[in-house]
Structure 1
Amino acid sequence: MATFLKAQLQSAGLTGVDTVTLLERAVVRFRVDLNPPGARKRFKDTLLWMLRNLERNRFAEVAVDSRGGHQPKVWRVAQTSRLQDLRDQQEALDAQAQNAV
C-alpha cells in the first residue's frame, strides 16, 4: 500500500489529495470489502497509519490540516527540508571531516 500511496501523492502534485479520496481509491485498487462491521474503520486506520509513516520518513506532509476534524486532511509529497534534516546533514558532514583528519 505504501507504493500505491506514494504514487497517489506524486500524481496529486502540490495541491495534494485528501484522506477520503485516498481511502476511496485504495478501496477500489485493493478490492476491499467494507461491508463487514468495522471494516471501513480498520481500513481507514491502516491507511492513516501508512500516511503518518510516510510523514515520519519525510516523504509526505499535510498540505491542509483538518479543521477541527470536520474536513479531511490533504496530503502531498513533502516539499521542504525540515530543520532536523539540515542538522542531520551537518552532523554527517562534521563526522566525515573529523574522520578525514
Structure 2
Amino acid sequence: MRSNRLTPLLLAALLAAPAAAHAGDPATFVLEMQDGVLTPARIEIPAGTEVKIILRNTGTTPAEFESLRLRKEKVLAPGAESFVVIRKASPGEYPFYDEFHMDKGQGVIIARQD
C-alpha cells in the first residue's frame, strides 16, 4: 500500500524549487540606469496589458526613474534594483527620465497596439 504523504526530503525539495513563470505573468523589461545613461532609452511595450519594468541603477550616483504621463516615480541608490508596474497603458508615447541627470537621462516608452 502506497502512502499519500510526502517524505520530508521530497517536501524540502519542492519548497526549495524556484517558482515557475505563469502564463498570466506580465511582460518584463529591464532598464539600466548608469549615471544618466539609460539603456535602452526606448522601450516598446504592448498596449492594454500589464508590464513590469525592472530598474537597475548600475551607476555610482543615485538615479530616479520618473514618468509624469504614467504617474510613476522610483528613486534608486547606487547599485540598487527595483521595479515599476504599468497597468494597461493606452497606445502612445510616454516620456521618462532620470531626474538626477536631466541633462542626458531621457527616454520614452512606446505602447503599441498589436
What is the TM-score normalised by the length of structure 1? Answer: 0.25
Structure whose alpha-carbon radius of gyration is higher: 2
Structure with the bigger RCO (C-alpha within 8 Å, sep 6+) is: 1
Structure with the bigger percentage of strand: 2
Which one has the bigger helix percentage?
1
